[in-house]
Structure 1
């Protein structure tokens, strides 16, 4: 399950709307081993396409260096679909290289802003529930759950 704060969901949807009709893309980094999305990082779609997204290789290298320096990992990798449902395409699956990441898709084809999350491992797509929260539980609260 993806547990994600409302402000991060709103930021993803706003980015997708802002870049429409092109696909938007980005990452939400979080502490290594915590599976907790924290730091919103909108990226430029280097392809500038309504049907395809691609991270700029220099931006991606910079991002991974920042995450390494901060002991972070890509918890969420997101992008939008502008004319189709929020479901990974064959291209999306072939580019999915982070087996621990949640792959979030937002469809901006209509006003509903369909928001869905998937795990993509070895080419297999598994949809997962999304729990939107106002804040994450403290370490002690999370430990007692």
Structure 2
């Protein structure tokens, strides 16, 4: 289970809406299964079909999270025109062990759908999200 504060969940959805029609990406930090922080990242690909985080931003954020005694819990990105499930490319590029993947679908922009998954060695499993 992944515990996400409602305001962080809403901030992720807003980030996805703001970036439309391109994919957006970011990282959620925290401890255990509880998200404590939201960090927008730059999608260097500037694409509506895939994303790549800026490596310098990502490295700096990992240092920042460590200093705050947090770890990277979630990598999130949006799917502007497809469902909230990992694409084959998402599965292939899921190389960070122990991190959940949150995907926001904007197929219905008025009611975005966010779902979380673990992805390990090509195997995808859903992760329950509890908003608080």
TM bucket, shorter chain? over 0.9
Matches of 1:71 and 1:6, distance apart in 2: 22
Over the aligned positions, Cα root-mean-square deviation in angstroms equals 1.2
2:3 corresponding residue in structure 1: 3
Aligned partner of 1:45 in structure 2 is 43
Give, in angstroms, the shift of residue 130 of structure 1: 1.5
1 CA distance for matches of 2:68 and 2:6?
Answer: 23
- Alpha-carbon distance in structure 2 between the residues aligned to 1:97 and 1:38: 23
After TM superposition, the score normalised by the length of structure 2 is 0.93
Q: Find the counterpart in structure 2 of residue 136 from structure 1.
A: none
Which protein shows a greater Rg?
1
Tell me, what secondary structure is at the counterpart of 1:93? helix
Alignment of 1:1-145 (within 5 A): 1-31=1-31, 34-110=32-108, 111-133=110-132
- After alignment, is 9-18 or 113-122 more displaced? 113-122
TM-superposition CA deviations, 1:33-68 (whole Å, max 9, x none): x22111110111111111111101111111122123
Gaps of 5+ in 2: none
The C-alpha deviation readout for 1:63-104, integer Å capped at 9, x for no partner, is: 122123233211111000011001001111122123322210
